[in-house]
Structure 1
Amino acid sequence: MTGQAISLPTTYNFRGLGALPAAGRRTRDGVLYRSDALNLLNDQGRLVLRELRIGTVVDLRDDEEVAHAPSALSHLDVELLRGNVLAGALTRSLQEIPSLTGLYRLIVTQGGPVAVELARTVSANARRDRATLVHCTAGKDRTGVMVAVLLDAVGVDREAIVADYALTEANLAGPWLDGAKTLLAKLGVPLTEEVLQLVGGSPSGVMHGTLEHLDAGFGGAARYLGLHGLGADELDLLKESLLSPGK
């Protein structure tokens, strides 16, 4: 079981995170969504976000990315939060970090406070019957790791977490990736297999490795959140918000 495919015009990697298995339970529909950038959002797309009752949009991009492509959220009754988990992510990943594994470990190292804020935001919105949307530029790396942390912390089956993450590569293939290639060529970045993997790849093994890194380095995603300030009662509230009632 993977994330729910929902058509959000002018995006490529938008989906809901309902109906994922979690030890006999399921994630709730209409609580948490993930996406690529929202800078091209049109009236039809904004209508979809209204219908989905999006209460907060959590933007994980850095200042330069936001300035280049600001989200088109005008006339929407949403709270916009910024959560920069990796300043200069695109530039650093292409020039300094040799693999997605290295990039994701850096996101884990730097992203703890943002993950906690995201967890609290999801719970707060769920209490008022609103949903949370988290995104970055591609909706792949920063979004993928932050979503994986929350899902793993509440007990979603790891194979489901990995399968949802792996959807992104197919979603980005085609027009999105073609546009990224054009931009990279203008920037003088060689379009090697390694670069294209960093930009558009979402291999299952990388997410498996990231979850194992959370286990080895922090004692798991739930403890990772706790080490960065999420209380036990807040974790319980997150479970209540994200998961259907237990049997």
Structure 2
Amino acid sequence: MRSFWRTPDEPLSAPAPTGRIPDGPLLRDIALVCLAVGVIGLSYGAVAVTSGFAWWFPVLMGALVLAASSEFLFVGIIAAGGSPIAALLAGLLVNARHLPFGLAVHDVLGRGWRGVLGTHLMNDETVVFALAQDEPERKRAAYWLCGLGILICWPVGAALGALLGSAVRDTDVLGLDAMFPAVILALILPALKDRPLRRTALAGAALALTVTPFLPAGLPVLLAPAALPLFTVRTRKEATR
């Protein structure tokens, strides 16, 4: 666990600091994403309460499920009159993306109880930060720092949102849901300077947008990775030139 606190913005050969978390761009980005997640938690908690759920429900779900998209979907289906079984199955389907996530970051999860906790912390943000790092130690540090930050910010945001929901009946007017995708877009923009990656990302986005009118919420994004072979093919072509 000690290495989590010394590697985010220090070279691997740097001496261990005296218990202080180092500052730097990576920690700043992680903090911004955790803040954005907390703000989205406000919206989630408020939506859950205004949909008829008890105040503690979004807080408990936030800590135990820790998956915003499936939680929003679950609450939305129940609020629309759907059955809990249908809501549960829909949430599991949306979270099916965690299967390839696990294959991509298997080396940072750890073993035993760390592996269980590491799997629980797996989400879009932790995987993005981990895969953006070059060294294994930095990858592990980014994953765990981001995951633990979200584990705190998401339920806390949901709790504050539950209180907000009792005062503001229409939470859509606040536009809280726009903050999270804006932060994620800002984080991935530097990577899109790579031409093959940019073309692949645009192809995946186009595919997801094309099928959105025909598929339930959450499924189009699962089809976006179908564009990944384009990245592999173009990368190989450029490597052979």
**Structure with greater strand share of residues:** 1
Answer whether TM exceeds 0.5 for this pair. Answer: no
Q: TM-score range by the shorter chain?
A: under 0.3
With normalisation by structure 1, the TM-score equals: 0.26
- Higher Rg of the two aligned structures: 2
**Structure with greater helix share of residues:** 2
With normalisation by structure 2, the TM-score equals: 0.26
